[in-house]
Structure 1
Amino acid sequence: MEGTDQNRGVNYRTLELFQIAKERSDSFTYNISVGDKQSAEGFHHVPGIIEAQVENIKEVWDVLQIGSNSRVVGSNNVNEHSS
């Protein structure tokens, strides 16, 4: 999701929304939230999901870091034998 320095991932590219919101602030008000998965119908349906309203890039990274620290990744047979 983060990508590399040469090819930024979706997380970095999404942060451009803050610049767009700033440029359009005279005409529009934006409410930006950070969450997780969304269904095709547009409704969140992940049990235990936390959605946080954010005002700036630092708040986004803080929320993503909390999620990353909370995620538990279990090992499986594929991971143990991959190169």
Structure 2
Amino acid sequence: MKYSAPIKSSSPLAGKRIQSYQTEDELHTDAENLRKKLVELVCKEGTFSSLAVLEMSQQLDEYIVHMQKRIKSYKH
């Protein structure tokens, strides 16, 4: 199963896609980097409800869901 989630243009990972061939370490590193950028953006914006923060949060959600799907597929 090939899975690819687009990363929105406002993201520091813009243009990058979550690929099924990406190693667990790469996927975790990208998600962690995005999480750090999200924290920085929240501090910069001063709110959790700005459009940029919401978009980046949704992108991080996509990484988390992808990682959870991988873990689930390994258990079966």
> Shorter-chain TM-score: which interval?
0.3 to 0.5
TM-score after normalising by structure 2? 0.32
For the pair shown, which has the larger CA radius of gyration, 1 or 2?
1
Specify which structure has the bigger relative contact order, considering alpha-carbon pairs within 8 angstroms and separated by 6 or more residues: 2
**TM-score, normalised to structure 1's length?**
0.30
Is the helix fraction higher in 1 or 2? 2
